Amino acid sequence: MSHGFKGGAHPDEMKHLTSQKPIEKLPAPELVILPMSMHIGAPCQPLVAVGDHVYLGQKIAEAQAPVSAPVHATISGTVKAIAPMEHALGTKVMSVVIENDYQDELDPSIAPIDYSAMTAEEMIACIKEAGIVGHGGAAFPTHIKLSSALGKVDTVIINGAECEPFLTSDHRILLEHPEEVVEGVKIILRILNLKNAVIGIEMNKENTFERINSLLPVDGSIKLVPMAVKYPQGAEKQLIKTITGREVPSGKLPADAGCAVFNTDTAASIYRLFTTGMPMHRRIVTVSGPDMAVPKNLEVRIGTPVKDLIAFCGGFIEPPTKLLMGGPMMGTSLYSDEVPIIKGTNGILAFAEAEPIHISDPRCIRCGRCVADCPMQLVPTYIYRAAMAGRMEECASFNPLDCIECGVCSFVCPAKVPLTQGIRVAKQKIIAANRK
Amino acid sequence: MNDLSKLKVSSSPHIRSEDTTSRIMLDVIIALMPALAIGIFVYGLRALTVTAVSAIGCVFFEWAYNHFSHKSQSISDLSAVVTGILLAYCLPVSTPLWTVLLGDLFAIIIVKQLFGGIGKNFVNPALAARAFLLASFAGIVSVYPKIRTALPLFTTPVDIVTTATPLSQMKEGILPDISVFNNALGMVGGSIGEISSFALIAGGIYLIYRKVISARIPLAFIGTVAVVTFIFPQGNNNLQWMLSQLVSGGLMLGAIFMATDYTTSPITINGQIVYGIGCGLITILIRYFGTYPEGVSYAILVMNLFIGLIEKVTMPRKFGAPKKERKGGAKVEK
């Protein structure tokens, strides 16, 4: 078992709420809201007009820039509106709203893709056309990752860490559909012309190991590496360190350390694309949290409003104080349940604590926990102190731009200093100053 | 319709560990209790009154400072209680209560609050107060009553029968007339809380188990004293000399409870080791060559002053930085 990176924390896992629950299909909703931006990169341009009929899987928005990903209809029906709609990020984003005709009429062009004679570039183009982005949360377009890795990396890493508390969507995929993941890895290896992939899975998902091992090719090209349960094991840089011992150089990309990292469900999506022709149109979402009546793992059409998932899980136990998209360490806090599930949504969590710990006048006691536990080996308390005092030059000398905003410093701080939050602001100030 | 009226929006992370400052301080207080039990056993209930008065005094002065300077109250973090207990622990049981309270005032008002309160003071408040008392009232705070003799609970003891401490004997270059085991047990003259190495080590193990402190500073500190006294014994029994040095005086109290004070020790991991070694070396220098028999508290106070420098040269190598580079990185361009 690999322990890997320095630092890290052990928040209560809370995965027992859903780890034993098989993935259920959420019935397709009455309406889907498909934002033109649900990935890292440029927003898309709609290809349809209000009133148009669309098929399930039909491309409805085109990527206008290289770093972007097209959007597909996730139900069949009629385009009801193309308008700015509320988005998880807290702003309104141009979105295509489709009304369901409940026919799930498949786009006639969708068919399995025979890639036996395809070049790597052609296969990457298929992935780009299918709108596949990283399923882990950040939603980086997968075709960019693949093309920038082409000829540059020697190791493919599949991220099965799922280190955020509560989330079990990857766990259930590895348990219920390991063959999709393994076949997806084989396709990735074929694209990159490599014979070396590692599936890294935290020990809390040990019940997936036997099945996965039995599916791995005998030539040893894909290996399973059990990893210690430690947050943020699934952060890209920490994962690469754990699996390969390499450090991604400061300010560089995983490819600069010879690695390309894909989420488990991203690999499965690639497999499904080539075997069925289906573009990215659904994903697995863990709906959980202490305030969720019946926590579940759901297979959801992208664009489904969050409130539909909540209703399917029995609603809230009491009015929530926090509604999160993603995990509790790095997720986004929602202000509305009308926002849609997007391509990177791995969880919807509800909390109803009286008041999340908040101290009006937090005083650092210099215990050094943030320093000892920072997985990037930074000194969070000094970054924070300098930033709060407006000493931005001193602040920059503590390397805040290397911060991955994993939240460990704020989590471990006994004085409840909002370190991550402060560092996030400092980073934005420094980036803005550097632009000038 | 879901009731979302109570919904709050904030930036991640959305959960916090259960540790709090007051829980940490409570753990330190718990860890200090075995030493108090031995102190009471050896010196009677006056050990308790001195300790309690000191703790209450510190809390009062912190409350009063915050109250009269219109600052938010901070006494609930329990750090003043810890300071009070630690100051009492490094005083002889015969110390008059007014002297104890004067020390409390110095520790809390001058050393701690005037520099900004918890996390801001640059030297350890309890040790600075002890140094202040020793400089001002040497005749009062450097006499150690004979063990297991009755002393008044509250009034100032008169006609104290004093005893030589193991350290004062070792200052003469002779081994103490008490066995290492009894010395470590605490059946010996000294300050209220320093006498029992066993009780202090038990507290230290609790603190490490509770992850309140790491073992780095105590091990570096005690280890340095052990190595140097073993190599340079006075007399010819290296092992017994070394062990006597380790269990005598304030070494365990200092290494486990004072040098690990968060505010006045480095936050960098390598810095903590450097700091511990420095404390150990200065302790021996004072014990071997200084005027005072004991050097632990001055060693820590001196090293307190170096933490800024130590941190500067022991900044961690950030993830992904070239192996040699320690500093630099992003620059703000004007």
Q: Which of B321, B327, B332 sits opposite A250 (nearest CB)?
A: B321
Residue B3: both structure tokens together: 């009731």
Nearest to B331 among A375, A396, A408 (CB): A396
Report CB contact under 8 Å: A334, B331. no
A contact residues 273-332, partner B, Cβ 8 Å cutoff: 307, 310, 315-316, 319-324, 328-332
Report residue A53: phi and psi, to 5°.
Answer: -90, 135
Residue of A nearest to B14 (CA): A328
Chain B residues closer than 8 Å to A405 by CB: 12
Residue A262 lies in a domain: yes
| A433 phi-psi bin (left φ>0, alpha ψ -120 to 50, beta other) | alpha
Nearest residue to B295 via CA among B187, B170, B197? B170
Measure in Å the smallest separation between the Cα of A130 and chain B Cα atoms: 31
Domain assignment of residue A193, given as a range: 113-276
- Mutation target for B interface from A14, A244, A333: give the one with most B CBs within 10 A: A333
Query: Would you call B322 and A415 a contact, using CB atoms and an 8 Å cutoff?
Result: no
DSSP H or E run through B49: helix B46-68
Q: Which range among A139-148, A200-209, A348-357, B82-91 shows the weakest confidence by mean pLDDT?
A: A348-357
- Tell me which residue in A248, A310, A356 faces B14 most closely, judged by beta carbons: A356
Contact residues, chain A, for B119 at CB < 8 Å: 363-366, 415
CA distances from B329 to A19, A226, A378, B68, B287 (A): 42, 34, 12, 44, 44
For B10, the closest chain A residue by CA position comes to A333
CB distance B292 to B298 below 8 Å: yes
What local confidence, expressed as pLDDT, does residue B149 receive? 87
Structure token digits, residue A90: 């807290």
Kindly state whether residue A319 falls inside one of the protein's structural domains.
Answer: no
pLDDT digits (tens, 9 = 90+) for A360-377: 788 999 999 999 999 999
> What pLDDT sits at residue B327?
47
Residues of A in contact with B74 (CB under 8 A): 363
Contact criterion met (CB < 8 Å) for A376 and B4 = no
HSE-up (13 A, CA, CB side) for residue B312: 5
Residues recorded for chain B: 334
Indicate the residue among A276, A311, A327 that finishes a domain: A276
Distance CA B247, CA A136 (A): 55
pLDDT along chain B (334 residues), means of 10: 86 92 97 97 96 98 97 94 98 96 98 95 96 93 88 88 87 88 93 96 98 96 97 89 95 97 96 98 95 92 97 94 57 39
What Å distances lie between residue B42 and A122, B105, B155, B195, B291, CA to CA?
Answer: 85, 27, 19, 9, 28
The position carrying tokens 């209703």 is: A311
pLDDT tens readout for residues A280-327: 999 999 999 999 999 999 999 999 999 999 999 999 999 999 999 999
> pLDDT tens digits for A244-258?
999 999 999 999 999
Residue A205 lies in a domain: yes
By C-alpha distance, the chain B residue nearest A316 is B2
Q: What pTM was computed for the model? A: 0.92
Cβ–Cβ of A366/B322 closer than 8 Å?
Answer: no
CA–CA distance, B41 with B114 (Å, rounded to integer): 37
Q: pLDDT at residue A332 above 90?
A: yes
Q: How far is A1 from chain B (nearest CA, A)?
A: 22
Q: Which chain A residues touch B8 with a CB distance below 8 Å?
A: 321-322, 333, 356
Domain termination residue (choose one: A276, A305, A335): A276
Q: Out of A366, A368, A411, name the one closest to residue B17 (CB).
A: A411
Residues in chain A with CB shorter than 8 Å from the CB of B330 are 396, 399-401, 430, 434
The closest CB to that of B118, out of A363, A396, A410, belongs to A363
CB A32 within 8 A of CB A54: no
Q: Which is nearest to A387 in space by CA: A349, A357, A430, A350? A: A430
Residue A247 sits in a domain whose CATH number is 3.40.50.11540
> Considering only residues 152 to 171 of chain A, which have any Cβ-Cβ distance to chain B shorter than 8 Å?
165
Give first-to-last CA distance, chain A, whole Å.
47
The answer on pLDDT for A220 being more than 90 is yes
Taking the CA of residue B230 and the nearest CA in chain A, the distance in Å comes to 32
Domain-located, residue A361: no
Single out the residue in A261, A276, A291 at which a domain terminates: A276
Whether the per-residue pLDDT at A202 is higher than 70: the answer is yes
Number of domains in chain A: 2
Nearest to B319 among A310, A402, A414 (CB): A402
Distance in angstroms between the alpha carbons of the first and the last residue of chain B: 51
Q: Give yes or no: residues A269 and A120 share one domain.
A: yes
Query: What per-residue confidence (pLDDT) applies to B333?
Result: 38
pLDDT more than 70, % of chain A: 98
Shortest CA gap B173–chain A (Å): 39
* DSSP sequence for A39-65: SSSPPEEE---TT-EE-BT-EEEEE-S
Nearest CA in chain A to B121: A365
Are the beta carbons of B318 and A399 separated by less than 8 Å? yes
Distance from CA of A335 to the nearest CA of B (A): 6
Judged by CB atoms closer than 8 Å, whether chains meet at A371 and B316 is answered as yes
**What is the value of ipTM here, to two decimals?**
0.91
Angle at the Cα of B270 from the Cα atoms of B269 and B274, rounded to 5 degrees? 125
Q: Cβ separation of B3 and A319 shorter than 8 Å?
A: yes
List the strands of the sheet with A92-100, edge to edge: A31-35, A92-100, A77-86, A53-54
CB distance B333 to A434 below 8 Å: yes
Nearest residue on chain B to A391, alpha-carbon basis: B332
d(CA A363, CA A385): 11
pLDDT-based confidence at A355, cuts 50/70/90?
low
Hey, where are the domains in chain B? 21-313
Buried b (16+ CB within 10 A) or exposed e, A17-31: bbbebebeebebbeb
Asked, for residue A24, whether it belongs to a domain, the answer is no
Residue B105 amino acid letter: L
Contact A356 B10 (CB under 8 A): yes
Distance CA B14, CA B20 (A): 16
Question: DSSP code of B254?
Answer: I
Say how many CB pairs under 8 Å bridge A and B: 197
Q: Is residue A331 part of a domain?
A: no
Q: In this structure, what token pair is assigned to residue A426?
A: 């400092």
Q: Is B330–A430 a contact, with Cβ atoms under 8 angstroms apart?
A: yes
**Residue B150 to residues B52, B94, B161, B182, B286: CA-CA distances in angstroms?**
18, 11, 10, 21, 33
The verdict on residue A358 lying in a domain is no
Question: Do the Cβ atoms of B14 and A324 come within 8 Å?
Answer: yes
> What dotted CATH number matches B21-313?
1.10.3430
The pair of structure tokens assigned to B236 is 């010819």
8 Å CB contact of A357 and B23: no
Whole-angstrom Cα distance, residue A271 to residue A268?
5
pLDDT confidence of residue A138: 80
Considering only CB atoms, A377 lies closest to which of B6, B316, B333, namely B316
Shared domain for A373 and A256, answered yes or no, is: no
Whether residues A264 and A132 share a domain: the answer is: yes
- Identify which of B74, B214, B320 has the shortest CB distance to residue A248: B320
Nearest residue of chain A to residue B270 (CA atoms): A372
